[in-house]
Structure formats: C-alpha cells, structure tokens
C-alpha cells in the first residue's frame, strides 16, 4: 500500500527536479538563438542559471507597505508550476501524479499561481504592479477559453482528459495525421505564446511601462523572491512546450520504464523542445509586439482555430 503511494511521489519529485534543472536552459537557448538571428553574440547559454544563483544569494528587499501576501505570491507561483509539472507526461507516457487529476487540474493549478502573483502585485501600492496584474489577468482570461478548446480537441480524440491516459490514447491511435491537428496546434501555439509572455503578446525583455505586462507585475520583486518568479516562469514555458509535444507529437515517448527507452525518449524530447524553441524564437524575432488592445483579436483567432479544429475533427 505504502509502496503504491511512494512510487508516484518519488517519480513526481524526480520529474519536477529534472524539469526545474532544465527550465533555465530553454530560456538561455531562446535568448542565444534570438541573438544569432540578430547577428549578435548574445549572453552565454547558461546566463539564466548565473542570474538565478545571484538573485538567490541577494538580500531580500521588500516594500514597507506590503503584507504576507507579497511573500506568499512568488512561493505559490513557484509551487503551482512545480505541481503542474507532476501532472504532465514528459519522458514516459504517464504523468507521475496521474491520480491527482488531468487537464482541468493542470489549467486550474496554474490559474491558482497566477491569482496569487497578480494579487501580490497589488500589494505594494505601486501603479506598475496594478498595471501588470490587470493586463496579465485580462490576457489570461482571453487565453483561457482558447486553451481549453485546444485541449478539449486533443482530449476528445484520445478519449481522455487525463494527460497520461491522453498520451497513451494518442499513441494507441497510431501516427494517423488528421488535418484538424494543424488548426488545433496553431490555436494552441498562440495560447502558449500568450501564456508564456512572449512577443507578439508580451515582451520579456522590455521594461517600458507602456508595453510590459508580466514584467510590470513582478517589477517590485528582488532577490530570492524574484528568483522564484523567474524560475517558475521558465518552468512554465518548458511545461507548455512539453504539453504541445505531448498533444501533437507524442511519438517517441517511452511506454515502459526500461533505461534504453527512457534515454531514447529523453533525446527525442530534447529534439522536440529544440524545434519548438526555434519556432518561438522565429515568431519572436519576426513579429513586432502587438498593441494591448490588438491582443484580443489574436486570442479570437486562436479561439476560432480551436473551434474549427473541433468541428472538422468531429462533424
């Protein structure tokens, strides 16, 4: 009985730790590729790690007007990203904590983190925090239905809303390509861009008050608090890309826990991440950031694509 409970917990801890360890690399990789496209040398691949290490050692500085929620915000944001990691199959066709919930739990738990971070942003009394929180919640609200529709399409064609069972269902179905996949992938890719705060929705590199969204929300944070937020954002990005790979190209994921399969699966996963990171980089390098009030149009396109995909798939 106890072994039954311990095995998933151990797997969950392992997967979360490995994903946490790899997440900053993805950020660094995107930065490096972006710099290469702009004919710059760019920061070292491991710069994000150095930044995190430095921030974690820094003294904590907090606003005098803030309350306990300001401290809880980054911790909850980080923790929800970690919990979400345990619900997604990464290298093996089963999520460690499959028993805890599926797609809806995944979306819900990430929304919980966002709620806390946005609330905490209002705690300092700085207008930037409010501005960022307002915009973040606005875009999240618009992205949510599109995200759900995209996930529903994949889930319904696999016959399960549980991510582990979903991936196994897709693998059982075989390599059968369906035209609706293109639409669903396009729709979900837009959502992922929005949720991870990338151009054209948000610009992770800007600190200009008129344009920043996520950065404005966390502008007051410093030291370890900021490190948690940055790390969790990187983890979320890796997680969303893994989710896309799971939903649209599950091929190659290990179906049993044999070491050879696992190694092979990890390599294939890394290749998929590289391709997706390249796609994110290309989109970010070839597009200008949209005006805030044009973002709803983009989200509407995503929602429309999701609905079309569903209609084509099932009608």
Partner 1 sequence: MDAFPPLQEWFPAAVAAYLTSAAAAVVLARWPRLCRVTAFGGSMLGSALVVALALSVLAGEPVSGRLGVHAASGIAFGYAVTPLAAWFLLVLGLVSAPVALYSIGYLPHAVPDGRTALLGASFNVLVAAVAVVFAAADVITFLLAWEVMTLATAALVASEHEIPATRRAAYVYLVMSHVGTGALLAGFLMLASMAGSVSFEFVLAGDVAAGRWRDVLFVLFFFGFGVKAGVIPLHIWLPEAHPAAPSNISALMSAVLIKAGIYGLFRVCAFGLGVPAVNWGLGVMALGALSAILGVLYALAQSDLKRLLAYSTIENAGIILLGLGAGMTAAALGRADLAAAGIAASLFHVLNHALFKGLLFLSAGSVVMASGSRRLEELGGLIRRMPWTAAFFLVGALAVSGLPPLNGFASEWLTFQALLLGFASLSGVTRMNFPLAGALLALTSALAAACFVKAFGTVFLALPRSRAAIDAGESPAIMLVPQGWLAVLCVGVGLFPGAVLGAIAGVLTSLPGLRLAHAPAGALTMAVGPASFDHVAPAALGLTLAAAVLGAAIVAMAPRLRSGQARLARRVPTWGCGGELGPANQYTGAAFSKPLMMIFRTVLRPTREVEALADVSPYYPREVRYRTAIEPVFERYLYHPLTTAVLGAAGRLKVLQAGSLHAYLAYVLVLGVVLLIWLGGMR
Q: Return the residues of window 59-88 that contact partner 1 according to CB under 8 A.
A: 59-69, 74-76, 78-80, 82-83, 86
Q: Of the two residues 97 and 185, which places its CB atom closer to partner 1 in the complex?
A: 97
Dist CA 78 CA 25 (whole Å):
17
Rule CB under 8 A: say whether 47 interacts with partner 1: no
Cα–Cα distance between 47 and 43 in angstroms, integer? 6
Toward partner 1, which CB reaches closer, 24 or 281?
24
Nearest residue (CB) to partner 1, 228 versus 276: 228
The encoded tokens of residue 124 equal 């300092």
Find all residues with CB under 8 Å of 88, minimum gap 6, and list them. Answer: 95, 106, 163, 239, 242, 243, 246
Min CB(244)–partner 1 separation in Å = 18
169 is written with which tokens?
């269902």
Q: Alpha carbon of 68 to those of 73, 111, 217, 233: distances in Å?
A: 9, 20, 17, 22
CB of 38 to partner 1, least distance (A): 31
| Nearer Cβ to partner 1 (160/281) | 160
User: For residues 174-213, which are near partner 1 according to CB under 8 A?
Assistant: none
Of residues 36 and 99, the one with the C-beta less far from partner 1:
99
Interface with partner 1 (CB under 8 A), residue from 18, 22, 35, 224: 224
Beta bridge pairs of residue 92 = 254
Q: Which is nearer to partner 1, 67 or 286 (CB)?
A: 67
CB 114 within 8 A of CB 174: no
Rounded Cα–Cα distance for residues 283 and 61 (Å): 36
Token pair, residue 133, equals: 């929180």
Q: How far is CA 240 from CA 123, 165, 206, 234, in A?
A: 28, 18, 22, 10
Shortest distance in whole angstroms from residue 140 CB to partner 1:
6
Per-residue tokens: 99: 């028993």
Of residues 225-244, those binding partner 1 (CB under 8 A): 225, 227-228
Q: Under rule CB under 8 A, which residues in 7-36 are in contact with partner 1?
A: 12, 16
Task: Write phi, then psi, for 93 (nearest 5 degrees).
Answer: -75, 50
How long, in residues, is the chain? 315
Minimum CB–partner distance for residue 58 and partner 1 (Å): 8
The residues in 264-293 that bind partner 1, with binding defined as CB under 8 A, are 292-293
Which of 90, 93, 149, 243 lies at the binding interface for partner 1 (CB under 8 A)? 149
Q: Residue 51 CB, nearest distance to partner 1 (Å)?
A: 13
**Burial group, residue 30, by CB count within 10 angstroms (0-12, 13-18, 19+):** buried
Our CB check for partner 1 shows the closer of 215 and 277 to be 215
Q: What are the tokens at 312?
A: 């084509």
Closer Cβ to partner 1, 134 or 264, answer by number: 134
Which 77-136 positions form the footprint of partner 1 (CB under 8 A)? 78-80, 82-83, 86, 97, 99-105, 107-109, 111-112, 114-115, 118-119, 122-127, 129-131, 133-135
């Amino acid at each position: 009985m106890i072994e039954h409970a311990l095995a998933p917990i151990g797997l969950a801890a392992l997967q979360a730790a490995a994903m946490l360890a790899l997440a900053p690399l993805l950020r660094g990789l995107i930065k490096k590729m972006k710099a290469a496209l702009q004919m710059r040398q760019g920061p070292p691949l491991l710069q994000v790690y150095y930044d995190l290490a430095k921030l974690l050692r820094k003294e904590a500085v907090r606003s005098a007007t803030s309350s306990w929620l300001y401290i809880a915000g980054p911790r909850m944001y980080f923790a929800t990203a970690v919990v979400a990691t345990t619900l997604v199959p990464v290298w093996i066709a089963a999520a460690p904590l499959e028993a805890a919930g599926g797609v809806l739990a995944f979306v819900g738990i990430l929304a919980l983190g966002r709620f806390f971070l946005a609330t905490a942003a209002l705690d300092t009394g700085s207008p930037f925090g409010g501005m960022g929180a307002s915009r973040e919640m606005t875009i999240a609200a618009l992205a949510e239905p599109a995200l759900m529709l995209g996930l529903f399409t994949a889930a319904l064609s696999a016959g399960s809303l549980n991510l582990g069972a979903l991936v196994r269902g897709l693998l059982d179905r075989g390599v059968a390509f369906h035209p609706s996949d293109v639409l669903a992938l396009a729709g979900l890719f837009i959502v992922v861009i929005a949720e991870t705060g990338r151009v054209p929705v948000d610009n992770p590199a800007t600190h200009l008050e008129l344009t920043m969204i996520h950065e404005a929300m966390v502008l007051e944070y410093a030291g370890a608090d900021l490190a948690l937020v940055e790390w969790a954002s990187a983890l979320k990005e890796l997680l969303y890309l893994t989710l896309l790979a799971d939903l649209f190209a599950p091929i190659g994921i290990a179906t049993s826990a044999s070491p050879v399969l696992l190694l092979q699966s990890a390599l294939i996963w890394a290749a998929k991440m590289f391709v997706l990171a390249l796609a994110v980089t290309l989109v970010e390098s070839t597009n200008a950031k949209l005006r805030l009030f044009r973002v709803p149009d983009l989200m509407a396109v995503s929602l429309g694509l999701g609905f079309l995909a569903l209609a084509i798939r099932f009608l």
